Structure 1
Amino acid sequence: MQRFNHLITTRPHQVRQVLISDLHLSPQEPALVQAFLALLDDCLALPALKRLFILGDWFEVWLGDDMYLSLLKEERLEDEQITHWLTPLIAKLKQLRINGCEILVMHGNRDFLLGQPFCNLFGGELISEPYTLTVGQQSYRLEHGDALCTDDKKYQLFRKIMRNRLTQWYLLNKSLEKRLAIADNMRKKSQQNNATKAAYIMDVNDEAVRQAITDSDALLHGHTHRPDIHQATADKKRYVLGDWRLLDKDTRQPKVSAVIGAVTDDQHSNDRLNSNNLSSDDAEFELYEFECLIR
């Protein structure tokens, strides 16, 4: 696994697609937001980048698009919108889309209330899981990863309830204050439950992985915060993206570290690229350890 501080120093003309997961962005963690903005600056400098995937848990919590969209509807909230922590993020994503890069967003277990209206602000698209990505001659199955943790029976029941459209309609019709209270209560219960769970319960189940990868050549997900390349079956691999975390926060040079994915191609032009798959026969998927110094 290669380590780098800037995507543009790693074969910039060959990077076609970038895949990230589990950023857990929030105003309470400005360093993570700063690191994401730095990554977007790198993406803007990549001349051949055609897709950016965000595979769930983009945000630490998302209580509905109206958290931000409400600021756009009333003139009296214009100053609040300008200074909002999401505004520079949206601006860079919008520029990335204008440059010709698709932005594809998948729900995670923390931001399942994220909607297409918010993604419309920067030209992004919500995608359902599983999502099939073709890399060279191989088919990659993309998903967030929480559905694979089938040993955690309580969570899977909770997930089924929360992903139900009726439940989501009910939550989104509550006031923002009530949604905040509900989310805070759920977070506390989750922390209490996770503190007593065995580590294997919160990881993927091997049989669930084998079933998921049946019709694919490889599996790619996040969620577990255990980045690595695993042998899923005798001839198929499972790639796990890493969560974004602040390291050495009490030092003079704290940094954010994450494991991300990239689809690269050694062609120096787009002539051979397939318009549907955005990858030629010799395209490759690789994991990279991304580090960003916080100033």
Structure 2
Amino acid sequence: MQSFDHLITTRPHEVRQVLISDLHLSPEEPALVQAFLALLDDCLALPALKRLFILGDWFEVWLGDDAYLSLSEIEQQTHWLTPLMMKLKQLRVDGCEVLVMHGNRDFLLGQPFCNVFGGELIYEPYTLHIGQQRYRLEHGDALCTDDKKYQFFRKIMRNRVTQWYLLNKSLEKRLAIAENIRQKSKEKNTTKAAHIMDVNEGAVNYALYTFDALLHGHTHRPEIHRSSDGRSRYVLGDWRLLDKDTRQPKVSAVIGAITTDIDTDIDSNTNNAGFGLFEFKFLPR
């Protein structure tokens, strides 16, 4: 993986699409929020950027779009999400699509919230053409089939009836439910074997059956995996704090970037298109 502090320092005219996952943003972790704002500044400086993908777990917890949309104009002005919305809206005005996918933390996120910044909610599996190859994009939790209890929980929480039930609860009750679920998840994860929380090889092979490559997050285990038949699996990394005890914590994340020659259309069948994983670092001064 190539390492750089800012996208604009590495072939800025060739970066056409950026893919990120597992930011887990919250007001309790301002450094992560600032790191995301820094990435958006970099994206705004990329002259040929056409798409920004957020492949799930954008937020640590999402109680529903109304948690933000129901705020008054004055309340929104001071809300921690508003600076993000403004930069994403500017990115969209500049011609970059913002495509957002559900994760296991923010499955209640809806299109109304994405409308605030002109984004689009997409669903897994999402097919992305890179040159002559077909990439399958997903969050990644559905691939962890060895964790039977989690898959049962996921099926329940992704059910429309369950989501309707939750969204008709008050924000206070939803917050209590989310905190309870998160606490139980932490307790269970401490007793699970490491391989159970990783992807299942059979599930990966099935997902790759009609694709050339698979791209996902969720596991927080960034890596490039190559199979014997030439197919690839790219795992994006979570956004994590480094040196938490310092006054100005650093943030590191493994993200994806698609580059082409500057005069190449991203949707054309060309061998000039390329994909790679890169380490994005936010180092506050």
Answer yes or no: is 1:187 the counterpart of 2:203: no
SS of residue in 2 equivalent to 1:258: strand
- Give the whole-Å Cα distance in 1 for the aligned partners of 2:133 and 2:26: 35
Change (3 A) 1:146 1:98: same
Runs of 5+ in structure 1 lacking a partner? 72-76
What residue identity is the alignment partner of 2:175? L
- Give the whole-Å Cα distance in 1 for the aligned partners of 2:227 and 2:155: 25
Q: In the TM superposition, what are the counterparts of 1:58-137 in structure 2 within 5 Å?
A: 58-71=58-71, 77-137=72-132
- Give the whole-Å Cα distance in 1 for the aligned partners of 2:237 and 2:89: 25
State which drifts further: 31-40 or 230-239.
230-239
Answer yes or no: is 1:57 the counterpart of 2:49: no
What residue identity is the alignment partner of 2:280? F
Q: Which runs of 4+ in 1 moved over 6 A?
A: none
CA-CA distance at 1:279 after TM superposition: 7.1
- Give the whole-Å Cα distance in 1 for the aligned partners of 2:52 and 2:8: 15
SS of residue in 2 equivalent to 1:188: helix
CA-CA distance at 1:78 after TM superposition: 2.9
2:262 aligns with 268
CA-CA distance at 1:233 after TM superposition: 4.6
CA-CA distance at 1:136 after TM superposition: 0.8
Size of the alignment, in residue pairs?
Answer: 285
Runs of 5+ in structure 2 lacking a partner? none
Q: Does the Cα contact within 8 Å between 1:16 and 1:278 map onto a contact in 2?
A: no
User: What whole-Å deviation, never above 9, does each CA across 1:34-93 have from its counterpart, x for those lacking one?
Assistant: 00000000000000000000000000000100000001xxxxx33321110000000000
What residue identity is the alignment partner of 1:54? I
SS of residue in 1 equivalent to 2:192: coil
- CA RMSD across the alignment: 1.2
Q: Does the Cα contact within 8 Å between 1:210 and 1:232 map onto a contact in 2?
A: no
TM-score by length of 1: 0.94
2:282 aligns with 292
2:47 aligns with 47
- Give the whole-Å Cα distance in 1 for the aligned partners of 2:268 and 2:67: 34
TM-score by length of 2: 0.98
CA-CA distance at 1:247 after TM superposition: 0.2
Q: In the TM superposition, what are the counterparts of 1:16-55 in structure 2 within 5 Å?
A: 16-55=16-55
SS of residue in 1 equivalent to 2:49: coil
- Give the whole-Å Cα distance in 2 for the aligned partners of 1:36 and 1:232: 33
CA-CA distance at 1:280 after TM superposition: 3.8
SS of residue in 1 equivalent to 2:24: coil
What residue identity is the alignment partner of 1:8? I
